[in-house]
Structure 1
Amino acid sequence: MATEVEQHVNVRAHDGVGLIQLNRPEKMNAIGALTRQQLGEAIKQAEKDDAIRVVVLTGSGRAFCSGADVTEMANDGGMRSPEDVGNVLRNEYMPMLTRLRTMPKPVIAAMNGPAVGIGASFALACDIRIATPEAYLMEAFVNIGLAPDGGVSWLLPRLVGTGVAYEMFFTGKQLSAADAHRLGVINRIVPADQLEHEVREFAAQLATQPRQAMAAAKRAVNHALESSFEDALEFE
């Protein structure tokens, strides 16, 4: 008798909007091996599906994503050495995060709660962030003697500046939704009971915008982040 596979990621599509929802509320949506597999497939399909014009990434329950499932890692999880961790980052996380940043359609992070560690990387890799007042970003790697990973050393300084990024990396302190909004990291803050509605309305609005224009804008911004001002002008 076949064993039913747990659904760690919910996927829905409606009127051009694809929703990808981490579905481990009892684990604060921590990402383990099965979650990585299902999330990677969901992001890949959202990128390929021409009927999906806008992608929304969110969590279920009280958290957006609390980071990697350290309990699973400690018990086994296929990561017994630094080399194993490196392979997972390179072969699983890197393709997902790169797809979010480069797919030719807007990606919205609906931050229903904290985004910690690799969870913060997923939020920061999205194009737009809409959050509840209770949401926050946190880079807690220093608390366990590790350097930042998941591309956050590239993503975070470009959004908050090097000073704030260093402080977060060195101390593991939280960046509240209010402070993140003030710094321009979070686009808007909405009450928790209105988040789903606000994100749905905004995503529906984007889904009516010219597809090629949005894709071109995203390509241009990504190119500009990695080039000189003159190169950006030429690319445009």
Structure 2
Amino acid sequence: MGVSDPLAELNRLQERDLELDQIREDQSRIPEELAQARLHLRQLEIHLGDLQEQLREVRMAYHKADLELQDLKSKREKAKAAQAQATGAKEQTQYGEQIRQLSGLIEDLEGNNKDIVGQIMPLLEQIEKLEEQLIQVKAQVDEARPRLEALETANQQRVDALEADYQSKKADRDQLAATIPPAIVKEYESIRRARKGTGLARMTKASSGYRCTACNVQLPMHVAQQVHQASKVVRCPSCGRILWKGE
């Protein structure tokens, strides 16, 4: 194979590759505290948005009711003025009925001090309650946002430190790869991509013969013999990884 045992070097290369894989995995892992802080702020922002929408709708309902109330009061005042000007009993009665109906509608909106609550007072109370809730939730958002930003900064520093470690170890890894025959490295890397991690597997002796440590399948005797001879690259008939007899 050109050097005494390039597969031993390939095994060391794989150890470095697996270490680099772990660094990448660590980089992508979101700390639980950060994940919870992101979720907490998102929930607060959604709650804040819901409250703002509710407040907008209640204010619209209040303004609509208030405009209707002012319109009814204006009509009642005109009816009262018209009744005062009326000369006949029929007209007096008609305006009186109109005033009675308008007063009933006004009472439905405005309420009274006895048995009718009306529509406007509950809307004002709801507006006041929603405004208080908004103040509280905004304060919670204002508290949660800088805390999340601090956690995001700390996590970015963690990721950056891992990246520096990764690049340093990647350079060492590439130097090691350069000492191994390129055809073997290329084959190993192709298998590693397909197998999501490992391209080389140690062959181990079992009670009934030899096994591939990656897939745990028993190897045919002629395959085991070829691995021991180390005259060429031999792959596991089951998982396709390059087999190595070990040191």
Work out whether the TM-score is over 0.5.
no
**What is the TM-score with the length of structure 1 in the denominator?**
0.23
**What is the TM-score with the length of structure 2 in the denominator?**
0.22
**Comparing both structures, which one devotes a greater share of its residues to helix?**
2
**Comparing both structures, which one devotes a greater share of its residues to strand?**
1
